[in-house]
Chain A
């Protein structure tokens, strides 16, 4: 990642594609749709899990 080094560092992006949901939830690669949905639902509920 060279485009936005600040973001790459903040979200510890070392391999791509990396998806960050609601700032603290993340996964690398193409996850199943159900997993993305679960991340979105949990992020919306504000159930913050420390990274």
Chain B
């Protein structure tokens, strides 16, 4: 049975009509150790089917350890939101439930457009930063 209902599916198709460049969703799960992650895999696969510019790639956290390492995935459930030509380093961990589902959809649209939404001044300043910086945002799916 589909996780996304008909109404949500229709809304998402409208949203994804705004996609600019292709986006790959690499989802990491492990059914036995983390049944919840299996839900995320199913959800991401359904998302991947909604628009030709979206592709879902499913990986097993244990069997595909090389891929997990390549993408810097250290825990599950995880979704790497990848631009077709560029990995902006965006990773979504946990269940995309409630408001967080909207956050995942926004991430997909942002990666697709390649636009951060940051001001010109901020982008100019960030261009001077040469060291990698890890930014983590914690939220709850309310």
Contact = CB atoms under 8 A, between A and B. Distances in A.
A11 B131 CA distance: 22
Given A37-B125, A40-B126, A17 B138 contact: yes
Nearest to A34: B122
Contacts, number: 61
A3 interface: yes
A19 B126 contact: no
A44 B138 contact: no
B19 to A, nearest CB: 25
Interface size bracket, B side? 20 to 34
Interface size bracket, A side? 20 to 34
A19 B131 contact: no
Given A21-B133, A43-B133, A44-B130, A7 B138 contact: yes
Given A33-B122, A37-B126, A21 B135 contact: yes
Interface of A: 1-4, 7-8, 11, 13, 16-23, 33-34, 37, 40-41, 43-46
Interface of B: 75, 93-95, 118-119, 122, 125-126, 129-131, 133-141
